[in-house]
Amino acid sequence: MDVPVATRIFALIVCIAILWRMFGAKRGVQYFIRRIPGIDAIEEALGRATEMGKPIVFTPGIDTLSNMQVLAGLSVLGWVAKKCASLYVQVIVPLAKPTVVPAAEEIVRNAYREAGAEEHFRTTNIRFISEDQSAFAAGTVGILAREKAAAGFYFGAFGYESLLISENGNRLGIIQVAATADYVQIPFFICACDYTLIGEELYAASAYLSRDPMQVGSLTGQDMAKALILLILLVGSIAAIFSGELNPVQGLLGK
């Protein structure tokens, strides 16, 4: 693995910042998280589903478990499923990768068990659709329409099917909340969904919802890392402006 030294050092600093805050939170330090309207809307959508007596659809996207966005999506799925179990709302999880099926099934089953409603968990609600993006989009839209879903949650990694799913959901009048770190798909979700979490908010959602100290700690650790990135950008920009060089470090060193 040939990784530049600067990248290694930076990654190490980021890891240390996150771990420091995580263990700080474990020791009992309280951290503040700002309000994220998109995540607040999840509860609103679940309440609507309860009132209507209809299921909700939650998908972590089209990638495998090696994609961090999918893992972040599954992390949110755990909380959503637990809430649904306590409200007796069915969660339907369309999946595009067969390897995600057992993980999603276990997460939803655990959530129902923790809510004391394991008897309401249905294995057939965790549905492998297809690895093909178009077929996955068609299958998911079919579920939204046929099952008359009250809400759609799209948290994870998406490609062009983002617009196919969310636009159809919009036409069906479903409350939709989406979150992805793929910046090409973000505009599609913003256009078609009621609420969209942008980029890093996908990773923050689980911490925000669960208020688990370790997750909250890691979230503030991320903020520290981002502050560091911002500082580097600021110093680099100033150096580039005043040195007239394209390489800011060189400009700073005066070489």
Partner 1 sequence: MKGFQRKLIWTATFIFGAIWILAFFLPGEVGGGVDRHGMYAPDLVGTRLFYSSGSRQTSAPLNEHKQGSYICQLDLTAVNRRETAFRSSPFRRDDYFGAKRPSVFQVGEGWVMLYLGLGKDDRKRVCMARSDDSVSWRPETKSVFDPPRENAPEGVLWFSVYAESGGYRLYYGVMRRARIVVHQAFSEDLINWKDEGEFLELPEPESVLSLSAMKDGKFLIVSKLPDKNPFVSISSVQDGVAKDRVFVGGDEDGVPEGVEIGEKYVNAGFAQVIVDARVKEDAGFMRVLIVGGEDVNQFGENREGVLKLGILEGTDLSNLQPIQGSLPNGSVAELSTPAFSTGFSSIAGKMSDFVPIVMTFGFVMGLISLVMVHGRRIRQGGDARWFSLLAVLALIVMVIIQFGNRTTQNHPVWTALDDIFFMRMQFPLGATMFGLLAAYLVSAAYRAFRIRTFDAAVLTAVAALVVITQVPMGQFIVSLFSPESAQAGAAFDAIATEPRTWALNVANDAVQRAVGFGAFVGAVAIALRLWLSLDKTSFE
Question: What part of residues 79-138 is at the interface with partner 1 (CB under 8 A)?
Answer: 79, 95, 97-102, 107, 110-111, 123-124, 126-128, 132-135, 137-138
CA angle 173/75/37 to nearest 5° reads 50
Question: What part of residues 21-40 is at the interface with partner 1 (CB under 8 A)?
Answer: 22
Q: Which stretch binds partner 1 (CB under 8 A): 34-42, 52-60, 77-85, 148-156?
A: 77-85
Q: How far apart are CA 182 and CA 137, in angstroms?
A: 17
**Cβ contact 21:220 at 8 Å:** yes
The yes or no reply on residue 226 touching partner 1 (CB under 8 A) is yes
The yes or no reply on residue 18 touching partner 1 (CB under 8 A) is yes
User: Least distance (Å) from partner 1 to the CB of residue 45?
Assistant: 19
User: Least distance (Å) from partner 1 to the CB of residue 49?
Assistant: 20
User: Least distance (Å) from partner 1 to the CB of residue 161?
Assistant: 8
- Mind giving me the DSSP string for 166-188? HHHHHHTT-EEEEEES-TTTHHH
| Residue of 117, 214, 239, 240 that binds partner 1 (CB under 8 A) | 214
Q: Which stretch binds partner 1 (CB under 8 A): 14-22, 32-40, 53-61, 148-156?
A: 14-22
Q: How far apart are CA 2 and CA 20, in angstroms?
A: 27
**Cβ contact 179:197 at 8 Å:** yes
> Facing residues of 176 across strands?
152
- Strand pairing class (175-180; 195-198): parallel
Q: Which is nearer to partner 1, 51 or 102 (CB)?
A: 102
